[in-house]
């Protein structure tokens, strides 16, 4: 038996250090018996440092690896994220906007409120009818109070963060608290065994480093899985057209300027602009299709969006290749983060995929090489499913548009650009709204049926409802929506303004768990 004891992660950044922390925390008790986690990081290669939005999963991941939420806020320029607002995606009109919040609809596990909302006499937004979170975001409020313990929520939340600060923060925690060995060195060569596994990596500064399991976190290059093991890349550019981003950091006009507690995604002629509020600045950028607009035109749209605030700010160009590796785990090598793939950041899926992959590696850690291929097969099946569902969900935002003002929007609704599974679901949803039994059959769906509901009905999708089918749950639905109204007013009165809470966190801290 060849035991798996030495884990070697090649590459730092958010992917490398988050993976190191999750694996080391899970297997800390084995370190006395020789289990090791080594992270090799180039001292000369900068991290991409753009991913600034997360999912609520991080509120489970950080405490599991022993991170204080107060320290995280103080050191990573963090803010709260309660969802995303999508502007001008449906018609392109100035008042065209909807929310995809992080709170589930009222009484979500008891009944599906969609048909009752569709059949109701009053048609406010679906979000406002079933959850307080859109109104909370409109009012610029935080999702909890300073008296709420670390990681607990009054309204469900994730984070916005400075990715350039997050990776060093994780590095310090992993090395000082979790026993991760940090090697600053450039990998020059990958040595394989006769049966095709990776035996070791040869570095310029630290010599040869052997391992039993290698985690490729080397970014877009995929030095191990792509270059050394030859795993091809599956391009998704025929479905998701955006292939370029222009990123810019925007200072606030005043130190006490409000901080949005949601991501804003504003559609443009050939893509969309993200806008994320951090305590010290805004992170913004234009994601677009270079086949539909030039770089110069895209930059003009970005600067027009920013106005005077972005007049002379430097813009960083980032190429996007939407897609993923055909296999994520081959032999004794598994890819996490950009080495596994990347999709446009429309729903902040990059960091959650890192978390889910690292968690699966840590929990299914092969005891020996003899069972690794079984674990790899299960990992690949789960990860392929997740990537496919994210592609579907991102494409959903485009296929629901009614915009016809540019080739970009017209091309996005061409049937040949829509995945088969999504086309089937769109047909299904014409007659029954998304719900658990339809298509969401995994324990850890990246996007639950509620997410599809918010996007579908936020963008004006119609489901044919048979009135007689609603009679049995009508009273329950009426009560749930009344309770939502009461809950909304209570939270709007009781929650602090977003920036005020962040000030208090920096000054006093949350109650530790």
CATH fold group of domain 6-52+162-234+322-389: FAD/NAD(P)-binding domain (3.50.50)
Structure token pair of residue 275: 């806008």
pLDDT at 388 > cutoff 70: yes
User: Is residue 81 annotated as a catalytic residue, yes or no?
Assistant: yes
Q: Please give the pLDDT value at position 482.
A: 95
Is residue 456 a contact partner of residue 392, using CB atoms and an 8 Å limit?
A: no
Residue 177 phi, psi (nearest 5): -115, -25
Distance of alpha carbon 8 from alpha carbon 209, whole angstroms: 8
pLDDT score of 513: 67
pLDDT at res. 365 = 98
Q: What whole-number percentage of the chain has pLDDT above 70?
A: 97
Rounded average pLDDT over 411-419? 98
pLDDT tens, residue by residue, 288-333: 999 999 999 999 999 999 999 888 899 999 999 999 999 999 999 9
pLDDT tens-digit profile of 8-23? 999 999 999 999 999 9
* Residue 472 pLDDT: 84
The first and second tokens of residue 369, run together, are 């090489």
**Mean pLDDT score of the chain, rounded to an integer?**
95
Strand partners, 84: 100, 263
Average confidence (pLDDT) over 119-123: 80
- Residue 443 pLDDT: 56
pLDDT at position 46, please?
75
Q: What pLDDT digit, counting tens, does each position of 481-510 carry?
A: 999 999 999 999 999 999 999 999 999 999
Whether 440 shows a pLDDT value over 60: the answer reads: no
- Residue 480 above 60 pLDDT? yes
Contact 306, 284 (CB under 8 A): yes
DSSP symbols for 98-120 = EEEESSPPTTTTT---HHHHHHS
Instruction: Specify the pLDDT at position 426.
Output: 96
> Residue 98 in contact with residue 137, Cβ under 8 Å?
no
Q: What are phi and psi of 90, to 5 degrees?
A: -90, -55
pLDDT band at 48 (very low <50, low <70, confident <90, very high): low
pLDDT at position 320 is 92
Edge-first strand listing for the sheet containing 263-267? 97-101, 83-87, 263-267, 271-277, 281-288, 244-251, 316-319
pLDDT (average), residues 52-65: 96
Percent of the chain with pLDDT over 90: 91
The whole-number pLDDT of residue 441 equals 53
Average pLDDT (271-285) is: 96
Pair 52, 58: CB distance under 8 Å: no
Q: Which residues contact 339 (CB under 8 A, 6 or more apart)?
A: 11, 15, 216, 217, 218, 219, 220, 221, 222, 223, 224, 225, 226, 325
* Residue 119 CB-density burial (10 A; 0-12 exposed, 13-18 middle, 19+ buried): middle
* Catalytic residue (choose from 5, 64, 81, 317): 81
Listed residue (161, 178, 231, 203) closest to 376, CA to CA: 231
The widest CA-to-CA distance across the chain, in whole angstroms, is 73
Separation between Cα atoms, residue 318 and residue 245, nearest integer Å: 5
pLDDT, tens only, 151-203: 999 999 999 999 999 999 999 999 999 999 999 999 999 999 999 999 999 99
| Residue 467: pLDDT band with limits 50, 70, 90 | confident
Contact 453, 126 (CB under 8 A): yes
In this structure, of 241-245, 317-321, 359-363, 434-438, the range with the lowest mean pLDDT score is 434-438
> What is the distance between the alpha carbons of residues 197 and 212, in angstroms, rounded to a whole number?
9
Res. 439: pLDDT tops 60? no
Task: Give the confidence band of 51 by pLDDT, cuts at 50, 70, 90.
Answer: low
What tokens were used for 169? Answer: 């923060």
Tell me: the pLDDT tens digits for 30-46? 999 999 999 999 998 77
Is the model's pLDDT at 354 over the cut of 90? yes
Token pair belonging to 435: 């719900």
User: Could you tell me which residue, 421 or 438, shows the higher pLDDT?
Assistant: 421
pTM to 2 decimal places: 0.95
The values of phi and psi at residue 371, to 5°, are: -105, 0
């Amino acid at each position: 038996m060849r035991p798996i004891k030495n884990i070697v992660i090649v590459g730092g950044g958010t992917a490398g250090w988050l993976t190191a922390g999750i694996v080391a925390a899970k297997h800390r008790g084995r370190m006395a018996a020789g289990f090791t986690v080594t992270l090799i990081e180039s001292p000369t290669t900068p991290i991409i440092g753009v991913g600034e939005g997360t999912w609520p999963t991080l509120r489970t991941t950080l405490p599991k690896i022993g991170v204080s939420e107060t320290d995280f806020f103080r050191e990573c320029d963090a803010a709260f994220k309660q969802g995303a607002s999508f502007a001008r995606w449906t018609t392109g009109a100035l008042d065209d906007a909807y929310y995809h919040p992080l709170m589930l609809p009222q009484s979500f596990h008891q009944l599906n409120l969609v048909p009752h909302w569709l059949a109701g006499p009053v048609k406010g937004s679906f979000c406002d009818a079933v959850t307080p979170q859109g109104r909370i975001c409109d009012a610029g409020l935080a999702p909890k109070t300073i008296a709420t313990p670390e990681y607990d929520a009054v309204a469900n939340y994730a984070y916005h963060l400075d990715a350039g600060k997050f990776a060093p923060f994780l590095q310090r925690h992993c090395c000082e608290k979790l026993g991760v060995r940090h090697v600053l060195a450039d990998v020059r060569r990958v040595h394989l065994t006769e049966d095709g596994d990776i035996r070791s990596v040869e570095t310029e500064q630290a010599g040869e480093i052997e391992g039993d399991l290698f985690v490729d976190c080397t970014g877009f290059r995929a030095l191990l899985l792509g270059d050394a093991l030859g795993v091809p890349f599956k391009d998704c550019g025929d479905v998701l057209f955006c292939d370029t981003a222009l990123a810019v950091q925007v200072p606030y006009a005043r130190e006490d300027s409000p901080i949005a507690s949601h991501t804003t995604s504003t559609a443009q002629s050939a893509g969309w602009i993200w806008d994320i509020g951090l305590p010290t600045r805004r992170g913004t950028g234009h994601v677009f299709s270079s086949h539909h607009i030039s770089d110069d035109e895209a930059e003009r749209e970005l600067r027009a969006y920013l106005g005077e605030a972005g007049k002379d700010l430097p813009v960083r160009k980032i190429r996007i290749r939407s897609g993923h590796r055909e296999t994520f785990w081959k032999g004794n090598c598994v890819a996490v983060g950009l080495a596994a793939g990347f999709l446009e950041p429309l729903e902040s899926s990059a960091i959650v995929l890192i978390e889910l992959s690292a968690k699966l590696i840590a929990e299914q850690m092969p005891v020996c090489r003899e069972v690794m291929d079984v674990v790899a097969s299960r990992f690949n099946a789960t990860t392929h499913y997740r990537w496919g569902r994210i592609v579907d969900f991102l494409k959903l935002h485009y296929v629901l548009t009614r915009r016809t003002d540019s080739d970009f929007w017209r091309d996005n609704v061409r049937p040949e650009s829509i995945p088969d599974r999504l086309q089937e679901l769109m047909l299904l949803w014409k007659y029954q709204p998304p719900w658990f039994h339809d298509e969401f059959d995994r324990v850890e769906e990246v996007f639950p049926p509620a997410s599809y509901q918010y996007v579908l009905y936020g963008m004006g999708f119609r489901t044919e409802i048979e009135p007689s089918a609603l009679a049995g749950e009508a009273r329950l639905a009426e009560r749930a929506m009344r309770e939502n109204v009461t809950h909304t007013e209570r939270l709007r009165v009781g929650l602090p303004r977003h920036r005020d809470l962040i000030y208090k966190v920096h000054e006093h801290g949350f109650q530790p768990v």
